[in-house]
Amino acid sequence: MAGLNDLTARLDAEFAEFEQGIDALQASAQSDYEARKSRFHALFEPAANRIVELARPRLQLLVERFRDRVNVQPVMTQYLREVTFSFDSQPAQTVLKFSLSHDASVKNLTLDRDLDILPILFKCDPHASLCMPLDQIDEEEITNWFDEQIVSFVKTAKEMHRNNNYLKGHLVLDPIAGVQSPKFAAKSTLESGGTTHYFISNETCQEFQKRQNPGATA
């Protein structure tokens, strides 16, 4: 019959093997963490900063086209690069967002473009992404991707402003020309008698003012 000493020895061996496995797992996890941290500082940060340099002038062109109709909210931290464009004007609330991130192993970089339109009344592509290895950054591919996403958004915005489903309830009548047009297409507006009047040209606005004040000199 085996004695207690034999059982004790066997248990000690099993637990020692288990503890060695834990030590090996911890060492491997620490090594992986150090490698990810090294890649983050050596590869991701320089790549992210360079991509921001490439994207900024392109996105600025978009802002200049929309002027005061867009609100820009950039977020720049050590771990996050993101910019959100909010278009609150009619006919729909529109949010365009670009973000830059890396995968869990910090070996690949991902660019994301997200588009939210409320209400959404026509088919559009709400998401696009570009992925590439951090050690093989292709600047030309990145700039082309940004260019395509920006142009695609402008085309979507144009389609939205031409879509009759969006224009319902937003059409106004030029009282002089007798022509209906969307509010955003009005060339001039004039407050009169507590009512906002919309005009397709400065000339029709001036004619309206003359008719409202027939005794006034031109």
What's the pLDDT tens digit per position in 43-80? 999 999 999 999 999 999 999 999 888 999 999 988 88
**Structure confidence by residue, pLDDT tens digits, 90-146:** 678 999 999 999 999 999 999 999 999 998 888 889 999 999 999 999 999 999 999
Mean pLDDT value across residues 180-205? 85
**Structure confidence by residue, pLDDT tens digits, 134-191:** 999 999 999 999 999 999 999 999 888 888 777 776 788 888 888 888 777 788 888 8
**In 3D, which of 165, 200, 207 has the Cα closest to residue 184?**
200
- Give the DSSP H/E element, type plus range, for residue 55: helix 45-66
Q: Is the pLDDT of residue 217 over 80?
A: no
User: Where in the chain are the domains?
Assistant: 33-164, 169-212
| pTM summary value | 0.73
Which amino acid is it at 76?
M
**In 3D, which of 183, 217, 216, 212 has the Cα closest to residue 199?**
183
The 10 Å CB-count burial string (b at 16+, else e) for 173-193 is: ebbbeeeebbbeebebeeeee
